[in-house]
Amino acid sequence: MAVKTNNIYGKIIITDKTIANFVSHIGLDCYGIVDFEHKGLIDAIGCWLKFGKDIKGVKIHTWGDRITIDVSVIVKYGVSIKAVVEALKDSVKYKVERFTGMIVDCINVNVKGVQR
């Protein structure tokens, strides 16, 4: 799917892959996030073989003017996981809503590991 909207200049289409790429850049800018991780073996193989349309560790679901974001991250050792996840969610919600003009309904964060 893709986010579609119209304005006085014409139609705007933002693909899910574009939003996922944007989310991955936002996440890596957040303090405490080391990397994104694939959700499972099938996602990892699909991404490696370029069959999957998703960016590593980020899945976007869109319908109408709503967006749901699922991310799988690895956090830095020694930081408060709760604080890092809340900062990530706040940053992603704010920036994606400004970027797309759509409403971010839900952001699900799955912490897959801790790394030094």
Domain count, the chain: 1
The answer to whether 63 and 1 have CB atoms below 8 angstroms apart is: yes
pTM above 0.75? yes
* 26-81 confidence digits (pLDDT tens): 999 999 999 998 665 555 555 555 555 557 889 999 888 899 999 999 999 999 99
Instruction: State the residue range of the domain holding 54.
Output: 2-115
The answer to whether 44 and 38 have CB atoms below 8 angstroms apart is: yes
**Higher-confidence position of 107 and 2:** 107
The answer to whether 26 and 63 have CB atoms below 8 angstroms apart is: no
CATH code of the domain containing 88: 3.30.70.1350
Q: What is the model's pLDDT at position 50?
A: 56
Q: How far lies 111's CA from each of 8, 27, 35, 56, in Å?
A: 42, 13, 10, 14
Average pLDDT estimate for 2-6 = 77
* 72-109 confidence digits (pLDDT tens): 999 999 999 999 999 999 999 999 999 988 899 999 99
Question: CA nearest 108: which of 3, 4, 41, 23?
Answer: 23
